[in-house]
Amino acid sequence: MDNQKPVTVAKSVVNESEQIQLAIQMIKLGARLQLLESQTTLSRERLIKLYKELKGVSPPKGMLPFSTDWFLTWQPNIHASIFYNIYKFMLDYTGVSGIQAIIKAYSLYLQQVEIEGSDAEPVLSLTRAWTLVRFVESKMLKLQSCSCCGGNFIVNTYDINHRYVCNLCHVPSRAGKTKKAKALTYKVVSMTA
Ligand SMILES: [Zn+2]
């Protein structure tokens, strides 16, 4: 502390590079432009430029998914539940929060569902994961433990089911109990236990 350097200038440069790093991280994980705009202080033009540079194409247009219904359908519900269990663990047991917790939890989710390194699109996109967190924060969705397997799953807050049975213990006939689905159930249950 022997001199009074203009701290604010240094700070804003650091902050800007942090913002760019954050945007790059999110773009690589598949974030939509609206998500990038809401979570960084970078301008729309800047974000579009970054996106094009990293992905080689312009960011897709269109609105963010709005309805909670998607998270309650069979396969998305399993994936949303896996992500949210990891995210909750992050909040409860590590020091991270906010978008950083979402990014970390999402990366771990990709590892869990074995998408990383393959060309397949993950069922739950980063944008959906972020939307899910907002739905839970606004109390439209919540985690509920299944009375059959004990796993924690995403449910509609206004569902007045006293004995909740998850989609995996009660599989609709059209979905079928695939090996992969079974493996994912064990993951949700083991995360909760
Ligand atoms: Zn269950």
Give 134-157 pLDDT, tens digit per residue.
999 999 999 999 998 899 999 999
Q: How far is the CA of 136 from the centre of ligand 1 (A)?
A: 20
Q: How far is the CA of 134 from the centre of ligand 1 (A)?
A: 24
Give the type of residue at 96.
V
Torsion of CA 92, 95, 99, 102, to 10 degrees: -50
Q: How far is the CA of 183 from the centre of ligand 1 (A)?
A: 13
Helix locations, 29-73, DSSP H: 33-39, 44-55
SS3 176: coil
pLDDT score at 137:
96
Work out the average pLDDT over 80-95.
Answer: 95
Work out the average pLDDT over 4-15.
Answer: 62
Question: pTM for this structure?
Answer: 0.81
Better pLDDT: 99 or 7:
99
Q: Is the pLDDT of residue 1 over 70?
A: no
Work out the average pLDDT over 68-84.
Answer: 93
Q: How far is the CA of 83 from the centre of ligand 1 (A)?
A: 16
Q: Is the pLDDT of residue 83 over 50?
A: yes
Q: How far is the CA of 185 from the centre of ligand 1 (A)?
A: 8
Q: Is the pLDDT of residue 92 over 50?
A: yes
Categorize the per-residue pLDDT at 36 as very low, low, confident or very high, splitting at 50, 70 and 90: very high
Q: How far is the CA of 163 from the centre of ligand 1 (A)?
A: 11
Give CA–CA dist 89/44, Å, rounded: 32
Q: How far is the CA of 150 from the centre of ligand 1 (A)?
A: 6
3-state SS of the chain: helix, strand, coil percent to 5?
55, 5, 40
Q: Is the pLDDT of residue 179 over 70?
A: no
Work out the average pLDDT over 6-34.
Answer: 83
Q: How far is the CA of 176 from the centre of ligand 1 (A)?
A: 15
Q: Is the pLDDT of residue 65 over 80?
A: no
Q: How far is the CA of 5 from the centre of ligand 1 (A)?
A: 59
Give CA–CA dist 172/44, Å, rounded: 43
pLDDT score at 174:
56
Q: How far is the CA of 88 from the centre of ligand 1 (A)?
A: 19
Q: How far is the CA of 160 from the centre of ligand 1 (A)?
A: 17
Q: How far is the CA of 24 from the centre of ligand 1 (A)?
A: 37
Categorize the per-residue pLDDT at 70 as very low, low, confident or very high, splitting at 50, 70 and 90: very high
pLDDT score at 20:
96
